[in-house]
Amino acid sequence: MAKRGRLDTLLWAWVRMGLNIPIERVVSGAYQSSAPFRTGSEPNLTDDICFPAGSLSSAPLTQARWGGMSIKRSSYKDQGDEAPIMENKKTRTTEDVLRVLCDSVKTVLSFATQTPIAYSPMVQKVDKTCLKPDIGCFVLFDGGFSGVVVMNFSKEAAMEIYRSYMISMGMPEAELATLYTSDEVGNTLGELMNQIIGRFQVEVKREFQCSVNQNQPKMIVLNKEIMVLINAPIQNPQYRKVSFETANHRPFYLEICIEQFEFIELYPFEKSQAIDAESLIAEAKGNV
């Protein structure tokens, strides 16, 4: 018999075996003939090839090597099975939830004050969550995950947000509070905090298909730093801090303590339509 090329020789031997034997078992010499394959050389095709009963491979590899040559084939097609499909699962972590929270703060305050609010693209990892002067506000949440949100305002930032919000609501400027320690300022910031967390709940449900509950926000005028602790077991708490800025470049800060977690998407889902408050209000005014 004329000597064939290495690939032709192997394929010929595989066909002779009835196509039921994984070719890599043939190449590796796992099935011995009366004249066993020799590594780096071609098999003797004139010899009878015998295989022990019950020794067929049920999970053949997809690539084999013999004599420095690679041989590839689809190991599942020939067995009538479908190859498993490995999908890339989307994973969401603490930073993704923090981004949703920051977007909620920006959206609510920008709409309420009718001025631009911005936050830093960089997030700080800190080792504690604190209420800091001049005005601090915090709210607890639980449900799909647990944690606490803290917002700290300087008196300048607090007064700017308060005045812009009340003026946009039609309040005469002469009737506005002039001191950041007044109850009106604290109550207004507490109301805005409540709106922020409310939007955050809606967005968490839309983005992560998860529900969280909140308590009533607490606003405190401070002259000293106060550390905030949650009276609940939180596994591996994660502390983050993000800087915000008002239209007049007055800083305020968002801090969060949240348990470590991952959301893994098991299958694709369709998100509900995002709520556009400005469009809803404009539409309502047009119908009046």
In tens, the pLDDT along 103-156 reads 999 999 999 999 999 999 999 999 999 999 999 999 998 888 889 999 999 999
How does DSSP assign the chain, residue by residue?
-PPPPHHHHHHHHHHHTTS-S-HHHHHHT-S--SS---TTS---TTSPP---TT---SS--SEEEETTEEEE--TTTTTT-PPPP-----EE-HHHHHHHHHHHHHHHHHHHHTS--EE-S--EE-S--EE-SSEEEEEEEEESS-EEEEEEE-HHHHHHHHHHHHHHTT--GGGS---TTSHHHHHHHHHHHHHHHHHHHHHHHHHHS--EEE---EEEE-SS-EE---SS--SSEEEEEEEEE-TT--EEEEEEEEE---EE-SS--PPPPPP-HHHHHHHHHHH-
As a whole number of angstroms, the distance between CA 253 and CA 255 comes to 7
Q: What confidence score (pLDDT) does residue 62 get?
A: 41
Q: What angle do CA 248, 126, 146 make, to 5 degrees?
A: 95
Model confidence at 182, pLDDT cuts 50, 70, 90, reads: very high
Q: Residue 47 contacts by C-beta under 8 Å, 6 or more apart in sequence? A: 33, 34, 35
Q: Tell me: the pLDDT tens digits for 256-285?
A: 999 988 889 888 877 776 666 555 555 555
Flag whether pLDDT at 192 surpasses 60.
yes
Cα separation of the two ends of the chain: 96
**For residue 4, is pLDDT > 50?**
no
Which comes out higher in pLDDT, residue 245 or 86?
245
| C-alpha closest to that of 115 among 248, 280, 229, 288 | 248
Residue 113: phi and psi, rounded to 5, are -95, -10
How many residues are there in the chain?
288
pLDDT of residue 228: 77
Written as one letter, the residue type at 140 is L
The answer to whether residues 24 and 60 touch, using CB atoms and an 8 Å cutoff, is yes
- Domains observed in the chain: 6-72 (no CATH), 91-278 (3.40.1550.10)
pLDDT at 171: 93
Contact between 109 and 179 under an 8 Å Cβ cutoff? The reply is: no
Q: Which pLDDT band, with edges at 50, 70 and 90, does 29 fall under?
A: low
User: How confident is residue 13, by pLDDT bands cut at 50, 70 and 90?
Assistant: low
CA-to-CA separations, 158 to 55, 86, 166, 198, in angstroms, rounded: 78, 51, 12, 20
Question: CA–CA separation, 169 vs 161, rounded Å?
Answer: 12
pLDDT one-digit tens code per residue, 172-181? 999 999 999 9
Cis peptide before 134 (omega within 30 of 0): yes
The CB density around residue 276, as the number of other CB atoms within 10 Å, is 12
pLDDT of residue 59: 41
